[in-house]
């Protein structure tokens, strides 16, 4: 059975590649900003928005292609407020300054669809507490990371130098990377996509 990842995310592709999962990648073409604006206007919180985006991505490809389609999304929640990816390094510095010394949540959702219908879903939430890092540390970190800091909503890669930002992390590592993996692998084994 064909397995398709409805995502442009390099981190999500790396998670599946690392786990040895064969798949195709396709861009879902979902306007995330429109979806977020609609849901925020309706009073939805960051976790619900992550789930809705994952579902829309999966359904966008599943309506066009046979097989199982994985849609995934992640939102950053600081005290109930949704934050998007930073647009440039100055905005990344502002984001990291806002997060330092505080605890935030990452909501990572996965929805798998077949024939235009969701058939499996999960939502994992990780709780991350950032150290109260110095301005000098932030400057050095952003100089090292450069544009990589713009690839995630928190402006960090836990699999890279971003690990040094944190004092405490509670939650699944793969979920923090943006793809709750273990439950997904179990589902794929049950569908016969992966060997049991």
> Which listed residue (17, 33, 73, 135) is catalytic?
73
Q: How far apart are the first and last CA of the chain?
A: 15
Alpha carbon distances (Å) from 59 to 6, 25, 34, 66, 166: 9, 14, 16, 11, 35
Q: What is the DSSP string of 123-165?
A: EEEEEEEE----HHHHHHHHHHHGGGGGGSTTS--TTTGGGGG
| Angle made by CA atoms 35, 39, 41, in degrees to the nearest 5 | 120
Beta bridge partners, 72, equal: 110
Instruction: Answer yes or no: are the C-beta atoms of 181 and 12 closer than 8 Å.
Output: no
Is 172 a residue of the active site? no
What are the catalytic residues?
Answer: 73
């Amino acid at each position: 059975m064909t397995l398709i990842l409805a995502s442009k995310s390099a981190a999500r592709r790396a998670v599946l590649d690392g786990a040895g999962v064969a798949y195709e990648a396709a861009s879902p073409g979902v306007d995330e900003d429109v979806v977020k604006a609609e849901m925020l206007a309706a009073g939805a919180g960051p976790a619900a928005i992550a789930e809705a985006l994952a579902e829309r991505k999966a359904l966008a490809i599943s309506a066009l292609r046979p097989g199982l389609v994985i849609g995934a999304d992640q939102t950053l929640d600081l005290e109930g407020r949704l934050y998007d990816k930073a647009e440039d390094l100055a905005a990344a510095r502002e984001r990291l300054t806002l997060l330092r010394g505080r605890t935030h949540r990452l909501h990572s959702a996965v929805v798998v669809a077949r024939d235009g219908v969701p058939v499996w879903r999960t939502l994992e939430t990780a709780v991350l507490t950032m150290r109260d890092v110095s301005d000098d540390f932030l400057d050095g970190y952003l100089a090292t990371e450069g544009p990589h800091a713009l690839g995630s909503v928190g402006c960090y890669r836990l699999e890279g130098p971003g690990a040094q930002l944190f004092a405490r992390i509670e939650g699944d590592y793969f979920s923090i990377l943006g793809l709750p993996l273990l439950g997904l692998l179990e589902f794929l084994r049950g569908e016969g996509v992966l060997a049991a």
